[in-house]
Amino acid sequence: MIRWVWAFLDRPTQRFDECATFWSTITDTQLSPRRGENDEFLTLLPDPALFADAGVKMQAVTGLGRVHLDIDVDDVTTAVRIALDLDAELVANHKSYAVLRSPGGQIFCFTPCGRAKGTPAPAVRAPDGILTRLDQVCLDIGPTDHAAETRFWTTLTSWDLTQGRLPEFARLRAKEPMPVQLLLQRLGADRPASAHIDLASADIDATAAWHQSLGATLVEHHEHWIVMSDPADAPYCITGRDPNGV
- Annotate the chain with DSSP letters as a single string: -EEEEEEEEEEEGGGHHHHHHHHHHHHT-EEPPPBSTTS-EEEEEPPGGGT-B--EEEEEESSS-EEEEEEEES-HHHHHHHHHHTT-EEEEE-SS-EEEE-TTS-EEEEEE---S---B---EE-TTS-EEEEEEEEEEE-HHHHHHHHHHHHHHH-PEEEE-SSTTEEEEE-SS--S-EEEEEE-SS----EEEEEEEES-HHHHHHHHHHTT-EEEEE-SSEEEEE-TT--EEEEEES-TT--
Q: What is the structure's pLDDT at 245?
A: 79
User: What pTM value is reported for the model?
Assistant: 0.96
Per-residue pLDDT of the chain (246 residues; tens, 9 = 90+): 899 999 999 999 999 999 999 999 999 999 999 999 999 999 999 999 999 999 999 999 998 899 999 999 999 999 999 999 999 999 999 989 999 999 999 999 999 987 667 899 999 999 999 999 999 999 999 999 999 999 999 999 999 999 988 999 999 999 999 999 999 999 999 999 999 999 999 999 999 999 999 999 999 999 999 999 999 999 999 999 999 975
- Asked whether 211 and 26 are in contact (CB, 8 A), the reply is yes
Q: What is the structure's pLDDT at 246?
A: 57
Q: What is the structure's pLDDT at 70?
A: 97
Question: Within 10 A of 186 (CB to CB), how many other CB atoms are there?
Answer: 19
